[in-house]
């Protein structure tokens, strides 16, 4: 009989592509992961993984088992949800990982709402970028991720995750007050092709949004300065160090002295924010109220211009 715990390890190895990375995500030793994989191969009678210089990849038999693994683990999440509902599930802790702006915009208001409507549910919040929070959910390090769509992110129909859309917001152009386009009502991105740029580091989902927007405008941005803190990005722009694209909600309550914020001419680059849980867990009596509170907290994002 196949043990579900070993299926979880197989999926972690498939996601992280090395035994060492999977072990770190699961808080196990690499030798323990290898032993569990060997035991799983013995249980199934098939070789499931192949090790190479670039890491681990699944064999065809491993891919077949992985497709069933996603369904099995989702069904186990549903079973846990139903059992929790049977025993009332009115009190407990739910862990949420979110990027910083998402914490301010939806997680903190959801926490306040739950204190009134479901006082038995305690949220434990961690700051994590979207590309980190989704693996944390899959590795069972947290229950809920508030994340941003990015290149390489799991699709909305990914069998491992359930997606709950929260909000979408545009990026606005941030230019120094002395910039030649500062008096424009809207800023055409193509006219910023020769400017120095300030933006997030590669790997940050917002970096992908900025680069893709510039590529669609016909150029590669010349990123002279990098920071994942949008306050630092705006401060550098106010010092005439370059131009930037910043999510509109990140600019709320920020000191904008020395810069001009303008909407982008044409189709604005947009980041789409969603909540994600392990598929099957979305009906858990502790998690469902959290998802509802996050969705209720998700606002429209006002224009700051």
Degrees, nearest 5: CA angle 89-93-96: 125
Report the chain's mean pLDDT, rounded to a whole number.
Answer: 89
Collect all residues with Cβ–Cβ distance below 8 Å to 151 and sequence separation of at least 6. Answer: 208, 212
Q: How confident is the model at residue 302 (pLDDT cuts 50, 70, 90)?
A: very low
pLDDT classification of 305: cutoffs 50, 70, 90: very low
CA-wise closest residue to 74 among 170, 192, 199, 160: 160
Residue 114 — very low, low, confident or very high, per pLDDT cuts 50/70/90?
very high
Residues in the chain: 305
Q: Map residue 28 onto helix, strand or coil.
A: coil
pTM over 0.85: no
pLDDT confidence of residue 210: 93
pLDDT tens-digit series, residues 200-223: 998 888 898 899 999 999 999 999
* Percentage of the chain modeled with pLDDT above 70: 96
Q: Mind listing the pLDDT tens digit for each residue in 132-178?
A: 899 999 999 999 999 988 777 788 889 999 999 999 989 999 999 99
Handedness of CA 142, 143, 144, 147 (dihedral sign): positive
Cβ pair 299, 214 in contact under 8 A: no
Average pLDDT over residues 123-135: 89
Residue 144, pLDDT score: 98
The pLDDT confidence band at residue 95, using thresholds 50, 70 and 90, is: very high
Per-residue pLDDT of 246-265, as tens digits, reads 999 889 889 899 999 999 99
Give 22-58 pLDDT, tens digit per residue: 899 888 998 999 898 988 989 888 998 888 777 888 9
Rounded Cα distance, 168 and 271, in Å: 6
pLDDT bucket at 86, cuts 50 / 70 / 90 = low
What band does 2 get if pLDDT is binned at 50, 70 and 90?
A: confident
Q: Would strands 144-148 and 92-98 be described as parallel, antiparallel, or unpaired?
A: parallel
Per DSSP, what are the bridge partners of residue 147?
A: 274
Q: What is the pLDDT of residue 89?
A: 58
Return the pLDDT at 200: 92
Question: Could you tell me the pLDDT band of residue 304, with boundaries at 50, 70 and 90?
Answer: very low
pLDDT at 266: 86
The residues that bridge with 264 in the sheet, in sequence order, are: 187
User: Is the predicted pLDDT of residue 188 greater than 80, yes or no?
Assistant: yes
């Amino acid at each position: 009989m196949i043990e579900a715990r070993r299926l979880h390890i197989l999926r972690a190895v498939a996601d992280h592509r090395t035994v060492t990375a999977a072990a770190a995500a699961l808080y196990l030793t690499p030798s323990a992961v290898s032993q569990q994989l060997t035991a799983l191969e013995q249980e199934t009678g098939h070789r499931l993984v192949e090790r190479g210089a670039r890491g681990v990849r699944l064999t065809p038999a491993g891919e077949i088992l992985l497709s069933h693994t996603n369904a099995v683990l989702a069904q186990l999440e549903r079973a846990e949800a139903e059992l929790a509902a049977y025993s009332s599930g009115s009190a407990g802790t739910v862990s949420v990982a979110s990027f910083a702006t998402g914490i301010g915009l939806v997680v903190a208001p959801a926490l306040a709402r739950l204190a009134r409507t479901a006082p038995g549910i305690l949220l434990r919040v961690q700051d994590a970028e979207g590309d980190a929070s989704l693996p944390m959910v899959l590795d069972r390090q947290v229950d809920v991720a508030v994340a941003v769509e990015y290149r390489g992110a799991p699709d909305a129909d990914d069998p491992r995750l359930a997606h709950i859309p929260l909000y979408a917001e545009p990026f606005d152009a941030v230019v120094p007050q002395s910039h030649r386009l500062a008096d424009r009502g809207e800023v055409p991105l193509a006219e910023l092709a020769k400017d120095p740029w300030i933006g997030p580091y590669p790997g940050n989902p917002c970096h992908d949004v900025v680069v893709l927007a510039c590529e669609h405008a016909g150029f590669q941005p010349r990123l002279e300065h990098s920071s994942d803190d949008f306050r630092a990005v705006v401060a550098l722009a106010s010092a005439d160090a370059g131009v930037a694209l910043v999510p509109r909600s990140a600019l709320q309550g920020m000191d904008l002295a020395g810069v001009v914020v303008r909407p982008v001419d044409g189709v604005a680059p947009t980041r789409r924010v969603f909540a994600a849980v392990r598929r099957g867990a979305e009906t858990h009596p502790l998690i469902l109220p959290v998802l509802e509170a996050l969705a209720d907290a998700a606002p429209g994002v006002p224009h700051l211009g």
